[in-house]
Amino acid sequence: MHTQLIAAQLERKQLRASSRKHRPRGLPIILFGPPGSGKGTQARLLAGKFGIPAISTGEMLRHGTGCAFDKTIQRTMQAGQLISDELMNHLLGARLKRPDCANGFILDGFPRSVSQAEYLKSFLKDLGMPRPIIFHLTVPDAEVVRRLTHRLECPTCGETISVDGDPDVITCTCSHDGAKLGHRDDDVAETIYTRLKSYKATVAEMVRIFAGDSYFEVGAMEAPNSVAAHLAELVRTGI
Ligand code: AMP
Protein backbone atom coordinates (compact mmCIF):
# COMPACT_ATOMS: atom_id res chain seq x y z
CA MET A 1 0.00 0.00 0.00
CA HIS A 2 2.82 2.30 1.07
CA THR A 3 4.73 1.49 -2.16
CA GLN A 4 1.60 2.22 -4.25
CA LEU A 5 1.23 5.60 -2.59
CA ILE A 6 4.85 6.53 -3.29
CA ALA A 7 4.47 5.38 -6.92
CA ALA A 8 1.34 7.51 -7.35
CA GLN A 9 3.07 10.55 -5.84
CA LEU A 10 6.06 10.01 -8.12
CA GLU A 11 3.80 9.75 -11.15
CA ARG A 12 2.03 13.02 -10.25
CA LYS A 13 5.41 14.74 -9.78
CA GLN A 14 6.63 13.49 -13.17
CA LEU A 15 3.40 14.64 -14.82
CA ARG A 16 3.78 18.13 -13.31
CA ALA A 17 7.42 18.31 -14.43
CA SER A 18 6.55 17.18 -17.94
CA SER A 19 3.67 19.68 -18.28
CA ARG A 20 6.05 22.43 -17.10
CA LYS A 21 8.56 21.29 -19.72
CA HIS A 22 5.99 21.43 -22.50
CA ARG A 23 4.25 24.62 -21.42
CA PRO A 24 4.77 27.21 -24.18
CA ARG A 25 7.42 29.75 -23.20
CA GLY A 26 8.13 33.25 -24.41
CA LEU A 27 6.40 36.56 -24.83
CA PRO A 28 5.26 37.24 -28.39
CA ILE A 29 3.62 40.65 -28.68
CA ILE A 30 2.03 42.09 -31.82
CA LEU A 31 1.31 45.78 -32.25
CA PHE A 32 -1.48 46.80 -34.60
CA GLY A 33 -2.29 50.41 -35.36
CA PRO A 34 -2.28 52.89 -38.22
CA PRO A 35 0.98 54.47 -39.36
CA GLY A 36 1.91 57.14 -36.84
CA SER A 37 0.07 55.51 -33.93
CA GLY A 38 3.39 55.05 -32.15
CA LYS A 39 3.97 51.33 -32.77
CA GLY A 40 7.70 51.81 -33.28
CA THR A 41 8.09 53.92 -30.14
CA GLN A 42 6.00 51.54 -28.05
CA ALA A 43 7.87 48.53 -29.42
CA ARG A 44 11.18 50.07 -28.33
CA LEU A 45 9.86 51.04 -24.89
CA LEU A 46 8.39 47.58 -24.27
CA ALA A 47 11.58 45.95 -25.55
CA GLY A 48 13.46 47.86 -22.84
CA LYS A 49 10.97 46.84 -20.17
CA PHE A 50 10.85 43.12 -21.03
CA GLY A 51 14.31 42.47 -22.48
CA ILE A 52 13.03 41.15 -25.80
CA PRO A 53 13.72 42.60 -29.28
CA ALA A 54 11.49 45.08 -31.10
CA ILE A 55 11.15 43.99 -34.72
CA SER A 56 9.88 46.46 -37.28
CA THR A 57 9.42 45.00 -40.74
CA GLY A 58 9.34 48.52 -42.21
CA GLU A 59 12.72 49.24 -40.65
CA MET A 60 14.13 45.93 -41.93
CA LEU A 61 13.06 46.91 -45.44
CA ARG A 62 14.37 50.48 -45.15
CA HIS A 63 17.79 49.13 -44.14
CA GLY A 64 17.79 46.96 -47.27
CA THR A 65 17.35 43.22 -47.51
CA GLY A 66 20.47 42.58 -49.58
CA CYS A 67 18.35 40.74 -52.16
CA ALA A 68 18.10 41.58 -55.87
CA PHE A 69 14.70 43.23 -55.37
CA ASP A 70 15.82 46.05 -53.07
CA LYS A 71 15.18 48.81 -55.64
CA THR A 72 11.69 47.50 -56.38
CA ILE A 73 11.04 47.23 -52.65
CA GLN A 74 12.03 50.87 -52.06
CA ARG A 75 9.77 52.00 -54.94
CA THR A 76 6.85 49.99 -53.55
CA MET A 77 7.38 51.50 -50.10
CA GLN A 78 7.57 55.03 -51.49
CA ALA A 79 4.20 54.43 -53.13
CA GLY A 80 2.78 53.26 -49.77
CA GLN A 81 1.99 49.81 -51.11
CA LEU A 82 2.62 46.44 -49.53
CA ILE A 83 5.57 44.15 -50.26
CA SER A 84 4.72 40.58 -51.28
CA ASP A 85 3.71 38.12 -48.57
CA GLU A 86 6.23 35.59 -49.80
CA LEU A 87 9.16 37.95 -49.25
CA MET A 88 7.82 39.31 -45.95
CA ASN A 89 7.19 35.84 -44.51
CA HIS A 90 10.67 34.78 -45.53
CA LEU A 91 12.30 37.87 -43.99
CA LEU A 92 10.35 37.65 -40.76
CA GLY A 93 10.87 33.89 -40.41
CA ALA A 94 14.64 34.34 -40.74
CA ARG A 95 14.59 37.12 -38.13
CA LEU A 96 12.49 35.17 -35.60
CA LYS A 97 14.87 32.22 -35.79
CA ARG A 98 17.68 34.33 -34.37
CA PRO A 99 18.62 33.51 -30.75
CA ASP A 100 17.59 36.91 -29.34
CA CYS A 101 13.94 36.01 -30.11
CA ALA A 102 13.99 32.84 -27.98
CA ASN A 103 12.20 34.55 -25.07
CA GLY A 104 9.82 36.57 -27.18
CA PHE A 105 9.68 39.64 -29.40
CA ILE A 106 7.54 42.62 -30.24
CA LEU A 107 6.30 42.89 -33.80
CA ASP A 108 5.66 46.28 -35.35
CA GLY A 109 4.24 46.18 -38.88
CA PHE A 110 3.69 42.42 -39.19
CA PRO A 111 1.31 40.75 -39.99
CA ARG A 112 -0.45 42.88 -42.58
CA SER A 113 -2.31 40.20 -44.53
CA VAL A 114 -4.11 36.91 -43.97
CA SER A 115 -1.18 34.98 -45.39
CA GLN A 116 1.25 36.74 -43.02
CA ALA A 117 -1.05 36.18 -40.04
CA GLU A 118 -1.37 32.49 -40.79
CA TYR A 119 2.36 32.18 -41.34
CA LEU A 120 3.03 33.82 -37.97
CA LYS A 121 0.52 31.66 -36.15
CA SER A 122 2.04 28.44 -37.39
CA PHE A 123 5.54 29.79 -36.81
CA LEU A 124 4.75 30.52 -33.15
CA LYS A 125 3.37 27.01 -32.79
CA ASP A 126 6.52 25.51 -34.29
CA LEU A 127 8.68 27.61 -31.94
CA GLY A 128 6.63 26.30 -29.00
CA MET A 129 5.60 29.83 -28.05
CA PRO A 130 2.28 30.79 -26.45
CA ARG A 131 -0.41 32.63 -28.36
CA PRO A 132 0.52 36.27 -28.84
CA ILE A 133 -0.64 39.33 -26.93
CA ILE A 134 -2.13 41.86 -29.34
CA PHE A 135 -2.13 45.58 -28.69
CA HIS A 136 -4.22 47.56 -31.12
CA LEU A 137 -3.20 51.23 -30.85
CA THR A 138 -5.87 53.69 -31.95
CA VAL A 139 -5.55 57.35 -32.97
CA PRO A 140 -7.87 59.49 -35.11
CA ASP A 141 -7.00 59.90 -38.82
CA ALA A 142 -6.33 63.64 -38.47
CA GLU A 143 -3.76 62.91 -35.78
CA VAL A 144 -2.10 60.28 -38.00
CA VAL A 145 -1.61 62.86 -40.75
CA ARG A 146 -0.41 65.50 -38.27
CA ARG A 147 2.09 63.14 -36.63
CA LEU A 148 3.53 61.73 -39.85
CA THR A 149 3.99 65.07 -41.55
CA HIS A 150 5.74 66.38 -38.41
CA ARG A 151 8.00 63.43 -37.72
CA LEU A 152 11.70 63.03 -38.27
CA GLU A 153 13.34 59.63 -38.11
CA CYS A 154 16.84 58.40 -37.38
CA PRO A 155 17.98 56.27 -40.33
CA THR A 156 20.25 54.25 -38.02
CA CYS A 157 18.17 53.30 -34.97
CA GLY A 158 14.65 54.17 -36.17
CA GLU A 159 13.99 56.56 -33.26
CA THR A 160 11.42 59.18 -34.22
CA ILE A 161 10.83 62.69 -32.97
CA SER A 162 8.21 65.28 -33.72
CA VAL A 163 9.18 68.63 -35.17
CA ASP A 164 6.60 70.33 -33.02
CA GLY A 165 8.17 70.58 -29.66
CA ASP A 166 11.17 68.27 -29.34
CA PRO A 167 14.38 70.20 -28.58
CA ASP A 168 16.54 67.66 -30.48
CA VAL A 169 14.99 68.97 -33.68
CA ILE A 170 17.10 72.10 -33.36
CA THR A 171 20.23 70.04 -34.01
CA CYS A 172 18.42 67.57 -36.31
CA THR A 173 20.58 64.76 -34.96
CA CYS A 174 19.56 61.60 -33.13
CA SER A 175 20.16 61.86 -29.38
CA HIS A 176 21.11 58.13 -29.30
CA ASP A 177 23.68 57.83 -32.06
CA GLY A 178 24.18 61.30 -33.52
CA ALA A 179 22.92 60.32 -37.00
CA LYS A 180 21.23 63.02 -39.08
CA LEU A 181 17.44 62.87 -38.72
CA GLY A 182 15.30 63.03 -41.82
CA HIS A 183 11.78 62.72 -43.16
CA ARG A 184 10.87 59.24 -44.34
CA ASP A 185 10.25 59.09 -48.11
CA ASP A 186 6.77 57.73 -47.46
CA ASP A 187 5.80 60.39 -44.88
CA VAL A 188 4.29 62.66 -47.52
CA ALA A 189 0.57 63.47 -47.68
CA GLU A 190 -0.30 61.41 -50.77
CA THR A 191 1.49 58.27 -49.54
CA ILE A 192 0.16 58.69 -46.01
CA TYR A 193 -3.43 58.40 -47.35
CA THR A 194 -2.52 55.28 -49.36
CA ARG A 195 -0.92 53.69 -46.27
CA LEU A 196 -3.88 54.60 -44.09
CA LYS A 197 -6.27 53.12 -46.65
CA SER A 198 -4.21 49.93 -46.89
CA TYR A 199 -4.15 49.67 -43.08
CA LYS A 200 -7.92 50.10 -42.83
CA ALA A 201 -8.51 47.51 -45.52
CA THR A 202 -6.68 44.82 -43.55
CA VAL A 203 -6.87 45.57 -39.84
CA ALA A 204 -10.37 44.18 -39.21
CA GLU A 205 -9.35 40.86 -40.74
CA MET A 206 -6.15 40.78 -38.65
CA VAL A 207 -8.14 41.43 -35.48
CA ARG A 208 -10.59 38.68 -36.43
CA ILE A 209 -7.78 36.17 -37.01
CA PHE A 210 -6.27 36.86 -33.58
CA ALA A 211 -9.63 37.21 -31.81
CA GLY A 212 -9.04 34.17 -29.60
CA ASP A 213 -5.80 35.61 -28.21
CA SER A 214 -5.17 38.27 -25.57
CA TYR A 215 -6.39 41.30 -27.48
CA PHE A 216 -6.41 44.85 -26.12
CA GLU A 217 -7.52 48.01 -27.91
CA VAL A 218 -5.58 50.93 -26.44
CA GLY A 219 -6.02 54.64 -27.16
CA ALA A 220 -2.61 56.06 -28.08
CA MET A 221 -3.18 59.79 -27.72
CA GLU A 222 -1.33 60.09 -24.40
CA ALA A 223 2.41 60.66 -23.99
CA PRO A 224 4.48 57.65 -25.15
CA ASN A 225 5.69 56.78 -21.62
CA SER A 226 2.13 56.70 -20.26
CA VAL A 227 0.96 54.47 -23.10
CA ALA A 228 3.97 52.17 -22.54
CA ALA A 229 3.28 51.95 -18.80
CA HIS A 230 -0.32 50.98 -19.57
CA LEU A 231 0.77 48.32 -22.07
CA ALA A 232 3.38 46.91 -19.67
CA GLU A 233 0.72 46.64 -16.97
CA LEU A 234 -1.55 44.77 -19.39
CA VAL A 235 1.30 42.38 -20.24
CA ARG A 236 1.87 41.68 -16.55
CA THR A 237 -1.79 41.17 -15.70
CA GLY A 238 -3.13 39.90 -19.01
CA ILE A 239 -1.13 36.67 -19.28
P1 AMP B 1 6.01 50.84 -41.63
O2 AMP B 1 7.40 51.25 -41.23
O3 AMP B 1 5.48 49.73 -40.81
O4 AMP B 1 5.08 52.02 -41.75
O5 AMP B 1 6.16 50.23 -43.10
C6 AMP B 1 6.63 51.00 -44.17
C7 AMP B 1 6.37 50.29 -45.48
O8 AMP B 1 7.09 49.05 -45.51
C9 AMP B 1 4.93 49.89 -45.72
O10 AMP B 1 4.15 50.95 -46.25
C11 AMP B 1 5.11 48.74 -46.71
O12 AMP B 1 5.44 49.25 -48.01
C13 AMP B 1 6.35 48.04 -46.18
N14 AMP B 1 6.01 46.99 -45.20
C15 AMP B 1 6.37 46.97 -43.88
N16 AMP B 1 5.92 45.87 -43.28
C17 AMP B 1 5.25 45.16 -44.23
C18 AMP B 1 4.52 43.95 -44.23
N19 AMP B 1 4.39 43.21 -43.12
N20 AMP B 1 3.96 43.53 -45.39
C21 AMP B 1 4.10 44.23 -46.53
N22 AMP B 1 4.74 45.42 -46.60
C23 AMP B 1 5.33 45.89 -45.47
Q: Is 15 inside a domain boundary?
A: no
Q: Is 5 inside a domain boundary?
A: no
Report whether pLDDT(202) > 90. yes
List, in sequence order, every residue forming a beta bridge with 152; answer none if it has no partner.
Answer: 161
Q: What is the DSSP letter of 188?
A: S
Q: Note down the domain range covering 62.
A: 25-238
Q: Is 132 inside a domain boundary?
A: yes
Q: What is the rounded average pLDDT for all residues in the chain?
A: 89
- Count of structural domains within the chain: 1
Distance CA 128, CA 218 (A): 28
Q: Is 13 inside a domain boundary?
A: no
Q: Is 20 inside a domain boundary?
A: no
Report whether pLDDT(216) > 70. yes
Q: Is 160 inside a domain boundary?
A: yes
Task: From 152, 155, 151, 183, select the one nearest 64 (Cα to Cα).
Answer: 155
What letter represents residue 165's amino acid?
A: G
Q: Is 19 inside a domain boundary?
A: no
CB atoms within 10 A of CB 212: 8
Task: From 28, 74, 15, 47, select the one nearest 159 (Cα to Cα).
Answer: 47
Pocket of ligand 1 (CB under 6 A): 35, 56-58, 61, 76-77, 80-83, 88, 109-110, 112, 116, 186, 195
CB atoms within 10 A of CB 176: 12
Q: Closest residue (by CA) to atom 10 of ligand 1?
A: 80
Residue-wise pLDDT tens digits, 87-108: 999 999 999 999 999 999 999 9
Q: Is 142 inside a domain boundary?
A: yes
**Averaged pLDDT, 225-232:** 97
Q: Closest residue (by CA) to atom 6 of ligand 1?
A: 58
Percent of the chain with pLDDT over 70: 87
Q: The CATH number of the domain where 188 resides is what?
A: 3.40.50.300
Please report the pLDDT score of residue 222 as a whole number: 95
Please report the pLDDT score of residue 69 as a whole number: 87
